[in-house]
Amino acid sequence: MSKVRVAIIGQGRSGRDIHADWLKQDKGRYKIVAIADPMKDRRDRATEELGCEAYKDYHELFNRDDLDLIVNTVPSHMHVSVALEILNAGFNCLTEKPFAGNVKDVDKMIAAAKKAKRLLAVFQQSRYAPYFEQVRKVVDSGVLGRIVQINIAFNKFARRYDWQTLQEFMGGELMNTGPHPLDQALQFFGTDIMPEVFCHMDLVNAKGDAEDHCTMSLRGAGRPLVNVEISTCCAYSRPTYQVYGSCGGLEGTMSEAKWRYFDPTVVPKAPRLSKKPLRNADGTPAYPKTEIKWTERKWKVPKSQSDLFTTISKRFYAMLHNTLTKGVALEIPPEQVRQQIAVIEECQRQNPHIYGKK
């Protein structure tokens, strides 16, 4: 199998505008052979735009014997049930985020995939964002020293009024947008242990009953403090990333970054600790200071990667193609995403004023 034959369940904002939009361009590796959607206008549009077959009921896809992958882009609250049906029917499954509403359901899907001996993948494509890879490169280089704190902000100002503001549909900013920054945050924190989580949520402008403002802190012994903000209540833009280190720091957006650092081996040593008031040469009160020679660097996203959605979709699907055709291990296995869902579940538990039944 060199060209992966794909069916997409759902032709909404994700199924059509993200998955179909990229897959129809990647003709060398993928071929969309079918879609399923209950809405006739979406089916008609898909047959015209994609030249594929279209079904009203996605269960009809399970009767086909020419599918290598089914992409699950149904509404969020249906992700788990449809993924289980796909796997139990004997097909490889790529499901959209959010992966699930709780860890118990994640474990069900992982178990179903193992039993069926089929692939289960999650569309966490922001792992391939150029800005994230650049920040990670700087952090991993060690020039910033020991990383003390990382702030990640996916903020904007909006007043949403669609189905993704409702808890019954697994809505809310943490479920809608959160899987992207949270996946990145856990890469910095570490996927080997569960972080200690503190979270505050609020419902400000959205029309539904799920949060539109969420802040969280991830903490653990020997790990950097990682703060994540996901809010639609931010009228002024903030850096997407801020990194604090013992030898420097970084600040960046999704299109550019800057960082500065010093070599600790050439910085003058600070004077010994003094319990007496510090004085200048003329006897006036002094403030402790150390002269530091900074090295400064800048980065801008390459023009070839300036279209973020295209870049991350291309990278994710290239990785997935290698897994499906060459047996290469998934770079983002569902077991890693399980940790993310555990964090989200804990965040909701800590906010009973919004998630009172959790």
Mean of the pLDDT values across residues 290-302? 93
Assess whether pLDDT exceeds 80 at residue 269: no
Residue type, 341: I
The answer to the question of residue 189 being in a domain is yes
Q: Residue 358 pLDDT more than 60?
A: no
pLDDT at 158 over 70: yes
The pLDDT of residue 357 is: 64
Distance CA 138, CA 152 (A): 15
pLDDT value at 239 more than 70: yes
Residue 226 included in any domain: yes
Judgement on whether residues 248 and 165 belong to the same structural domain of the protein? yes
- Identify whether residues 27 and 152 lie together within a single domain: no
213 and 233 in contact (C-beta within 8 Å)? yes
pLDDT bracket for residue 267 (50, 70, 90):
confident
SS3 for the chain is CCCEEEEEECCCCCHHHHHHHHHCCCCCCEEEEEEECCCHHHHHHHHHHHCCEEECCHHHHHHCCCCCEEEECCCHHHHHHHHHHHHHCCCCEEECCCCCCCHHHHHHHHHHHHHHCCCEEECCHHHHCHHHHHHHHHHHHCCCCCEEEEEEEEECECCCCCHHHCHHHCCCHHHHCCHHHHHHHHHHHCCCCCCEEEEEEECCCCCCCCCCEEEEEEECCCCCEEEEEEECECCCCCCCEEEEECCEEEEECCCEEEEEECCCCCCCCCCCCCCCCCECCCCCECCCCCCCCCEEEEEECCHHHCCHHHHHHHHHHHHHHHHHHHCCCCCCCHHHHHHHHHHHHHHHHCCCCCCCCC
User: pLDDT category, 306, cuts 50, 70, 90?
Assistant: very high
10: domain CATH number is: 3.40.50.720
Exposure pattern of 303-328 as b/e (b: 16+ CB <10 Å)?
eebeebeebbbbbbbebbbebbeeee
Percent of the chain with pLDDT over 70: 99
45, 141: one domain: no
Per-residue pLDDT reduced to its tens digit, 88-141: 999 999 999 999 999 999 999 999 999 999 999 999 999 999 999 999 999 999
Identify whether residues 85 and 196 lie together within a single domain.
no
Q: Among 279, 307, 335, identify where a domain stops.
A: 307
For the segment 333-339, the average pLDDT, to the nearest whole number, is 97
Please tell me whether residues 283 and 194 are part of one structural domain.
yes
What confidence tier does 2 reach under pLDDT thresholds 50, 70, 90? confident
Same domain? For 137 and 208 the reply is: yes
337 in any annotated domain = no
Q: Are 153 and 177 found together in one domain?
A: yes
Judge whether 349 lies within some domain. no
User: Binning pLDDT at 50, 70 and 90, where does residue 199 land?
Assistant: very high
Section 261-281 average pLDDT: 85
172 shares its domain with 236: yes
* Cα–Cα nearest to 89, from 121, 56, 61: 61
**What backbone phi and psi angles, to 5 degrees, belong to 338?**
-60, -40
Question: Tens digit of pLDDT for each residue in 28-84?
Answer: 999 999 999 999 999 999 999 999 999 999 999 999 999 999 999 999 999 999 999
Q: Which of 77, 106, 123 is the last residue of a domain?
A: 123
pTM of the model: 0.94
The answer to whether residues 51 and 147 belong to one domain is no
Position 272 scores a pLDDT of 82
**Do 119 and 131 fall into the same domain?**
no
Instruction: Please give the residue that has the higher pLDDT: either 4 or 271.
Output: 4
- Judged against a pLDDT cut of 80, whether residue 260 lies above it is answered with yes
Residues 135 and 223 in one domain: yes
- Higher-confidence residue of 88 and 266: namely 88
- Write out pLDDT tens, residues 206-229: 999 999 999 999 999 999 999 999
Confidence of residue 1 (pLDDT cuts 50, 70, 90): low
**Number of domains forming the structure of the chain:** 2
Give the Cα-Cα-Cα angle 288, 292, 295 (nearest 5 degrees): 155
pLDDT at site 108: 98
Q: Which of 75, 101, 123 delimits the end of a domain?
A: 123
Q: Are residues 105 and 133 in the same domain?
A: no
CATH number for the domain that contains residue 134: 3.30.360.10
| pLDDT bucket at 273, cuts 50 / 70 / 90 | confident
Residue ranges making up the domain that contains 136: 127-307
Give the model's confidence band at 145: pLDDT under 50 very low, under 70 low, under 90 confident, else very high. Answer: very high
323 located within any domain:
no
Taking alpha carbons only, the member of 110, 118, 231, 256 closest to residue 181 is 231
- Give the pLDDT confidence of 164-185 residue by residue, as tens digits: 999 999 999 999 999 999 999 9
Q: What is the pLDDT of residue 288?
A: 85
